[in-house]
Amino acid sequence: MILFAQSAKNRIPLKYGAIRLEKRQDEAMKRFRRNRLGAFIHWGLYSIPGGEWKGKMYMGAAEWLKEWAKVSSNEWMSLMEQWNPTDFNAMQWAKMLKEMGVKYVKITTKHHEGFCLWPSKYTKYTVANTPYRKDLLGAMVKAFNEEGIDVHFYFSVMDWSHPDWRSTIKTKEDSVAFVRFLKFTDNQLRELATSYPTVKDFWFDGTWDSSVKENAWWTAHVEQMLKELVPGVTVNSRLRADEYGRRHFDSNGQLMGDYESGYERRLPDPVKDLKVIRWDWEACMTLPENQWGYHKDWSLSYVKTPLEVIEHIVHAVSMGGNMVVNFGPCADGNFRNEEKIMMESVGAWMKKYGKCVYGCDYAGWQKQNWGYYTKNEKDIYMVVFNVPYSGLLLVKTLKGVEIEKAILLNGDELKIIELGREAYHVKMPDDDPGEPFVIKLVVKEKKETVDKYRDALI
């Protein structure tokens, strides 16, 4: 593409930049892409206080409570004495998530606080040293895999529990400590990769500090190490920095890691931001405005409805991205009711209409206000969220593409009215489905279409 060709001329040599210029096309990456819908699980010591510390409720993200309430690491880690999720049932979690229709789950193996859900031998702050004792991560990996759900590991590089963690390197001592810290992190990552070899992805967080940016070599090394240890593994862009301290995209504007992971609690604009289709990407979102871990009081911010979550999922897929919906289970091992209802509602919709999500991609057709297009091979899906008063859904095809049929997923055919020059009306079904629904367009290409991936802005 033109933009790549231009930058190729001015490309500067980088030691720790992108290791490839195009999307990965191997089987493991195709699987990551096909999966499209995932769930996040944020579960750690922060799930115990649930946003409340010494009688005071904090509105900030519950998993950052240690920071908001200025709790010392020792005091925070003493929460481990209360860690005993007796209601935790990995098979039940796997079944619930399977019902929701997610194809993969991203689990917080270790969040910023430093508490490990697996019995790491490199720190005492693990589930093994709590009243619960058993390996929670291992139980989840096993149960999810048994249900055919891929497991991805969330891993925070920033570790508030570790004496050698530094956000900035100011002295020689800092630098020596940080080298030890990187060694410790390597050990934990190697431990995760070898103890749970079915892991499909590592999703890094807590990598924004200058200490990490100044050690770009280490981010490149981790990507390489994990890829050697786990064939096919995918790694998010948030891990990576180049030697100029550029993150996600290197100094030549090329994506580092396998997919872009900057869309946190937001999505690209379906018209203005079509550039995202040039790389793989994954967005993640919370149900409240910004709560990842369990927070006792969900009245403190707006909570998304199932309808909104379904729209976010389709929105992401329509632009060639994945969507990960977050859940923050309670410390006792139960999901809150709002989350259970969300899983069920999304699942019911995915069961009926998931065809427009799994394995689907950007269709290249001009977005219309009734909803989104997705595409699977030759089939185009219209995912209708807003029904116009006229009951007529405007469709503009790509040049040289003709619509032969418009059919509901139950097989009913809809009336098509040709308006001329690649424009059509598809007539709403007589009975309004009363929920977002899907129309499959069977299309015929009159001739080779050349502008499939045109950027709407150029």
Residue number with CB closer to ligand H79 (304 or 375): 304
CB of 447 to ligand H79, least distance (A): 46
The footprint of ligand H79 on residues 234-273 (CB under 6 A) is 264
CB of 326 to ligand H79, least distance (A): 7
Residue number with CB closer to ligand H79 (258 or 282): 282
Q: Report how far residue 310's alpha carbon sits from residue 203's, in angstroms, rounded to the nearest whole number.
A: 23
Residue number with CB closer to ligand H79 (160 or 424): 160
CB of 265 to ligand H79, least distance (A): 8
CB of 160 to ligand H79, least distance (A): 12
Rg value, the chain, Cα:
23
In this structure, the number of other CB atoms found within 10 A of the CB of residue 395 comes to: 23
CB of 349 to ligand H79, least distance (A): 24
228, burial (CB in 10 Å: exposed 0-12, middle 13-18, buried 19+): exposed
CB of 206 to ligand H79, least distance (A): 7
For 260, phi and psi rounded to 5 degrees? -75, 135
Residue number with CB closer to ligand H79 (76 or 365): 76
CB of 156 to ligand H79, least distance (A): 7
| Contact indicator for 358, 37 with CB cutoff of 8 Å | yes
Strand order, beta sheet including 437-445? 371-376, 379-384, 437-445, 401-408, 413-414
| Contact indicator for 381, 355 with CB cutoff of 8 Å | yes
**Cα maximum dimension of the chain:** 74
Which residue's Cβ lies closest to ligand H79? 292
Question: Of 14, 18, 45, 61, which one interacts with ligand H79 (CB under 6 A)?
Answer: 61
CB of 284 to ligand H79, least distance (A): 6
Residue number with CB closer to ligand H79 (202 or 437): 202
| Contact indicator for 150, 37 with CB cutoff of 8 Å | no
Question: Of 63, 135, 242, 311, which one interacts with ligand H79 (CB under 6 A)?
Answer: 63
CB of 102 to ligand H79, least distance (A): 16
354, burial (CB in 10 Å: exposed 0-12, middle 13-18, buried 19+): buried
| Contact indicator for 47, 293 with CB cutoff of 8 Å | yes
Residue 113 touching ligand H79 (CB under 6 A)? no
Nearest to 52 by CA among 297, 330, 334: 297
Site string for ligand H79, 79-98 (x = CB under 6 A): --------------------
Assigned token pair, 262: 């900057």
For ligand H79, how many residues bind (rule: CB under 6 A)? Answer: 7
Residue number with CB closer to ligand H79 (208 or 244): 208
Question: Of 292, 365, 370, 372, which one interacts with ligand H79 (CB under 6 A)?
Answer: 292
Residue number with CB closer to ligand H79 (208 or 302): 208
Q: What angle do CA 182, 187, 188 make, to 5 degrees?
A: 100
CB of 88 to ligand H79, least distance (A): 20
Residue number with CB closer to ligand H79 (326 or 397): 326
CB of 9 to ligand H79, least distance (A): 35
CB of 331 to ligand H79, least distance (A): 17
Residue number with CB closer to ligand H79 (114 or 371): 114
> What does the CA dihedral 33, 230, 198, 280 come to, rounded to 10 degrees?
-10
What secondary structure letter does DSSP report for 12?
P
| Contact indicator for 292, 47 with CB cutoff of 8 Å | no
Site string for ligand H79, 170-209 (x = CB under 6 A): -----------------------------------x--x-
Torsion sign over Cα 178, 183, 184, 190: positive
Residue number with CB closer to ligand H79 (186 or 209): 209
Residue number with CB closer to ligand H79 (257 or 371): 257
| Contact indicator for 292, 301 with CB cutoff of 8 Å | no
Site string for ligand H79, 126-165 (x = CB under 6 A): ----------------------------------------
Q: What is the DSSP string of 59-116?
A: -S-GGGHHHHTT--HHHHHGGGGG---TT--HHHHHHHHHHHT-SEEEEEEE-TT--B
DSSP E strands, 247-340: 281-285, 321-327
Residues that bind ligand H79 (CB under 6 A): 61, 63, 205, 208, 264, 284, 292
